[in-house]
Structure 1
Amino acid sequence: MTEFGKTLAFTETVIPGLLIADLPVHGDSRGWFKENWQREKMTAAGLPDFGPVQNNISFNDEVGTTRGIHAEPWDKWVSVASGRIFGAWVDLREGPTFGAVFTAEIDPSKAIFVPRGVGNSYQTLEPDTAYAYLVNDHWSPDAEYSFLNLADETVAVPWPIPLDEVEISAKDLAHPRLAEVTPIPSKKTLVVGANGQLGLALRAAFGESARFEYAGRDDIDLTDPSFASSRRWRDYATIVNAAAYTAVDLAETTDGRADAWAANVTGVAALARVATENGITLVHVSSDYVFDGMKDAAYTEEDIVRPLGVYGQTKAAGDAIVSTVPRHYIIRTSWVIGEGKNFVRTMASLAERGIDPKVVDDQFGRLTFTEELSSAVQHLLAQQAPFGVYNVTNDGPIVPWADVARKVFTAVGSDPARITAVSTSDYFASESAPVAPRPRNSELDLTKIRATGFAPRAWDRALSDYLS
């Protein structure tokens, strides 16, 4: 019998992510009514906001009609409209809970959320039973499915009505046993800009496996109109955007301005659209250049952006676009150092070649090593930290570029007195090409990222490790 008057509540099961729900059902002499799907109430009560796109109904004439066990690469919300079913769910995902089983009877006062990759099967316990399921993807022949035989001896589902007494399709009878099942793989992570400084660090951090996909500039064109259909995006959990146009001075030229807006705004908009439409978490790396550097204290995540030049304007515009994605992390950073050409390598090379450089001493901040950035990305994703903006740099003292240069000279055994400190205006005085305005203060407050449990290393200690 359907139980009336229950409070909406979700209960976890032995299968991670499989949630059984008690639904409020209101009845009288005329029949009953329930809110079968109410996004605001259900997400507030603990149901994932899984974004259904299709509603299907299965009607069954006879008691004992049995269907399954099917694992699809999408999430489902299953509920009963009339009658009663015995449901059995088996975890067919890759991982330690592969083969775990949960069973329950479902009537109109109950429902169940079935996560992607969990096999589902149903046996009707009353005639004229109809159950409905919302799914968050459309059927596709390219999707990866998995199936398990209803009579598998390993999972040993306790069917109320023996399988030899019920109606089962020939296709369901032919499904493999558990030992022969192909597990549903985890959703993938795509790293865009994989050949840049941060992209290389992310590749080293994530490693090489089928779960991670790396795309460089030659592998993916975000401005191509076909980008949105270039992959089966429902198979991706995360996109990390490590790509950017970073030639700050060249961005002040006519061609550079167009290239900067194409990469940092148009391309980001394409990623944001795909992420929003497919429930993907978008991790986007931003810059201290979104600020004008006039603040006399560290910039927090809540400070209003005031970019000075074209590069900063494009990064601020990209941030605004990414902020509209329901699942997003915007990581603001500064003075990035990784593999390839960068300030630290340049200073080390000058020291070793006996060249005494002039270095500006009126721009202040901290270095950020790409190893630290990639660790922060991993941390935020692993901890499922609240979505939003996070400042990420290395920790340590706030210094001008000239002091960083002196640290580099000292670390490679050269005299730091060989560095001549100059103002930014003097440094660029002889330049004939356009020069982008730089923020004077690039200090980013790290309170928010620390509160998630991430502790950045001091930049001077990281510098020693980098040079050694």
Structure 2
Amino acid sequence: MTEFGKALGATETPIPGLVVWDLPVHGDSRGWFKENWQREKMVAAGLPDFGPVQNNISFNDAVGTTRGIHAEPWDKWVSIASGRVFAAWVDLREGPTFGTVFSTELDPSRAIFVPRGVGNSYQTLEPDTSYTYLVNDHWSPDATYTFLNLADDTAAVPWPIPLDRAEVSAKDLAHPRFADVTPMPPRKILVTGANGQLGRALRAEFGDARHVEYATRADLDLVSPDLATARRWRDYGTIINAAAFTAVDLAETPEGRREAWAGNVTGVAALAAIAGANGITLVHVSSDYVFDGTLDRPYREDDALSPLGVYGQTKAAGDAVVASLPKHYIVRTSWVIGDGRNFVQTMASLAERGVDPKVVDDQIGRLTFAADVASGIRHLLASQAEHGIYNLTGGGPPTSWADIARRVFDLSGHDPERVTAVSTEDYFHASTVPVAPRPRNSVLDLTKITETGFTPRLRPPL
């Protein structure tokens, strides 16, 4: 019999994310009423804001009707509209809790939140039972399910009515045993810009895990009108956007300006729309160029944006778009070098070729290795840090480009005095092509990222 008057409350289970909920049911001799799903109250009480898009009901005529064990690639809010069930869940996700079992009875006063990849099954204990569930994806024949046999000896679900006396479909009886189950991987991670310096660092960081995909512009054009249908986006949990237009001087030309706005704003807005519509976390890499560099202290995440040139303006616009999403990380970095053409590689080449360079000494910042940015991004995701903006650069004392050039010369066995320090104005004085204005102070405050447990390297290994 349904219990009336319970307070809304949650009870954890041995399966991570699987939570039983008591629901307030108001009743008398005429029947009962309950709020089966009430987003504001339930989210405030701790239920994930999982964004349901479809409501399904399974009506079961006879006692002993048994269904499962099905693990779908979406989250479910399961409750009972009428009747009573014995229900069991098995964790079929990749990870240390794979195979964990939990069972309980559900009636109209008890519901359960079932996370993606946890196998769901039930057996009716009363006739005319209606089992109802909200899901956060539309049913699709292309969705990938994971199944487990109801009679599996390893799970050993204690069915109240033995399966040989229960109503079970032939299809459910044919599901695989534990030894033949392929665990459900996490929701996919998509890395865009996978051939750039940061993209290659992300490849090294995440490796060949089967739930991680890497896309170049040839694979996925972010400004294509077909982007919204280019993937089954509900299968993705995170997009790491390492694609960007970074030619800061070219951005000052008419053609470059168009390309910069397309790559850094239009494409980002398209990704943000997809992320928002599908509950995806968007990781977006930003730049010190969103600031004008006039402060006499390191820039914090909440400092006002004041870009000097076109590149900085497009990055600031992209940041504003991404910041509107409920689930986002904006990773702001500076002076990034990695696998590919970069400042350190150029200085080493000049040293070997006997060229004595002039290098600016009035732009101050910290050198950042792409591998450290990739590691920091993975840390934010793995630690489930609070969404928002994070500065992420190399650590240690700030320095100038001229100081870095001298260190490269020194470490490569050449006289660092061959590097001549000049001002930015003198360096670009004779330029015949457009030159982007640079922030003089590119030092970013690292307090926030450090407080999440990530410690930037004090001195990048040149």
- Same fold by TM (over 0.5)? yes
* 1:240 alignment counterpart: 240
* 1:225 alignment counterpart: 225
* 1:161 alignment counterpart: 161
Write the letter of the residue equivalent to 2:332. R
Matches of residues 381-400 of structure 1 in structure 2 within 5 Å?
Answer: 381-400=381-400
SS in 1 for 2:285: strand
Write the letter of the residue equivalent to 1:40. E
Q: Deviations over 1:251-294 (max 9, x none)?
A: 01011001001100111111111111111111110000001111
Q: Deviations over 1:229-263 (max 9, x none)?
A: 11111222211111110000000101100100110
Write the letter of the residue equivalent to 1:356. D
1:175 lines up with 2:158 in the alignment: no
1:350 lines up with 2:343 in the alignment: no
Q: Deviations over 1:157-195 (max 9, x none)?
A: 111112222222222222222222232222221111111
CA distance in 2, matches of 1:24, 1:197: 54
* 1:434 alignment counterpart: 434
Q: Deviations over 1:84-142 (max 9, x none)?
A: 11101112222232222110100111101111111111111112211210001111111
CA distance in 1, matches of 2:96, 2:456: 32
CA distance in 1, matches of 2:154, 2:400: 65
**How far 1:20 sits from its partner (Å)?**
0.9
CA distance in 1, matches of 2:184, 2:334: 40
Write the letter of the residue equivalent to 1:281. T
1:291 lines up with 2:304 in the alignment: no
Matches of residues 386-465 of structure 1 in structure 2 within 5 Å?
Answer: 386-459=386-459, 462=460, 465=461
Write the letter of the residue equivalent to 1:170. A
CA distance in 2, matches of 1:172, 1:95: 25
* 1:61 alignment counterpart: 61
Deviates more, 1:281-290 or 1:17-26: 17-26
- Unpaired runs of 5+ residues, structure 2, are none
* 1:270 alignment counterpart: 270
Q: Deviations over 1:287-307 (max 9, x none)?
A: 000011111111100001011
- Identity percentage over the alignment? 74
Provide TM-score, normalisation by structure 1.
0.96
**How far 1:420 sits from its partner (Å)?**
1.3
CA distance in 1, matches of 2:264, 2:289: 13
CA distance in 2, matches of 1:347, 1:302: 34
**Runs of 4+ with deviation above 6 angstroms:** none
CA distance in 2, matches of 1:408, 1:28: 81
CA distance in 2, matches of 1:95, 1:456: 28
Equivalent pairs, count: 462
* 2:100 alignment counterpart: 100
Write the letter of the residue equivalent to 2:100. A
CA distance in 1, matches of 2:208, 2:446: 30
SS in 2 for 1:225: coil
* 1:37 alignment counterpart: 37
Write the letter of the residue equivalent to 1:239. I
* 1:341 alignment counterpart: 341
CA distance in 2, matches of 1:374, 1:9: 39
CA distance in 1, matches of 2:180, 2:415: 67
* 1:316 alignment counterpart: 316
* 1:146 alignment counterpart: 146
SS in 1 for 2:204: helix
CA distance in 2, matches of 1:418, 1:3: 84
Write the letter of the residue equivalent to 2:115. P
Write the letter of the residue equivalent to 1:217. R
Write the letter of the residue equivalent to 1:30. R
* 1:129 alignment counterpart: 129
SS in 2 for 1:448: helix
**How far 1:81 sits from its partner (Å)?**
1.2
* 1:114 alignment counterpart: 114
SS in 2 for 1:78: strand
CA distance in 1, matches of 2:162, 2:420: 87
Provide TM-score, normalisation by structure 2.
0.97
Deviates more, 1:5-14 or 1:97-106: 5-14
CA distance in 2, matches of 1:3, 1:161: 24
Write the letter of the residue equivalent to 1:65. T
CA distance in 2, matches of 1:453, 1:176: 42
CA distance in 1, matches of 2:300, 2:96: 40
SS in 1 for 2:226: helix
